[in-house]
Structures are given as C-alpha cells and as structure tokens.
Amino acid sequence: MLKKTLSILLLSFLAACQSLPDATIIMIDEDHLEDVVEVNNVQSGRTATGTLRVWGELKNLTEQRVLIEVRAAFRGDGGRVVEKAGGWTRVFIDRESTQDFELLSTVKESEEFLLEVREGKQ
C-alpha cells in the first residue's frame, strides 16, 4: 500500500517537473517496513558539478529509535547502469520523528535512480 502511494506521488511530481530524473523506490521487506518507516518528499536535482543529488525524508512510525539504511544506483540513457549501488547510508531516527537523507552520484551521465530502503541492525 505504501509503495503504491509513494509511486503515485512520485509519478505525479515527476510529471509536473519534466526535467527531473526518473525514480524508483524499493523497500526491502516491505510488509514489515511499512509499519516502521515512511519515505517522504524524495527529490533529485543536479549539483554544481553536474552529478545527480537525491534527497528525502524518513519518518519513524514506531515508539522506539530505529536504524534505516538507504542507498541508490544510478542509470543513464536507455536505463543502462552508470553507477552501481554503493554502501548503505545509515540513518538513525528517534521515535515518532523524521530524519533527512542525501545521496550523491559520482558521474554526470546519471539520468535516473533506484533508491533502496531497508531496516538496519543496531
């Protein structure tokens, strides 16, 4: 349910802003994660050097501090991989609060991104 809602929101946002890259969000173990975290306001844009910057907000839906991990893979023209997903970025979120995240590509050829989200182990 959450994934469908996020996809609809992202597609609506991207349709309104044709210059933004395509985005896909994958939540690993989605059935569990949809009760733990909500991914909001995922956006992207170019840095001053022409690489792709992806950022957003993670909202903790639980009564305890959680560790969420995010990473991105970047694709160029025709969907070819120009930068494989790197290491996981760890984001600690206090109970019932939000935390921002940011990921950067290292190549200018990035046209779209695949964002992966999973629960980390503390």
DSSP string, 36-93: TEEEEEEEEEE-TTS-EEEEEEEEE-SSS-EEEEEEEEEE-GGG-EEE---SPEEEEE
**What is the token pair recorded at 91?**
């984001």
pLDDT at 3: 53
pLDDT at 8: 44
Which domains, ranges and CATH numbers included, belong to the chain? 2-119 (2.60.40.3230)
Residues with Cβ < 8 Å from 29, sequence gap 6 or more? Answer: 118, 119
pLDDT at 22: 61
- List the one residue out of 51, 87, 47, 45 whose CA is nearest residue 70: 87
**Whole-angstrom Cα distance, residue 105 to residue 114?**
11
pLDDT at 79: 84
Averaged over successive runs of 10 residues, the pLDDT of the chain (122 residues) comes to 47 42 76 92 94 95 96 90 94 96 95 92 76
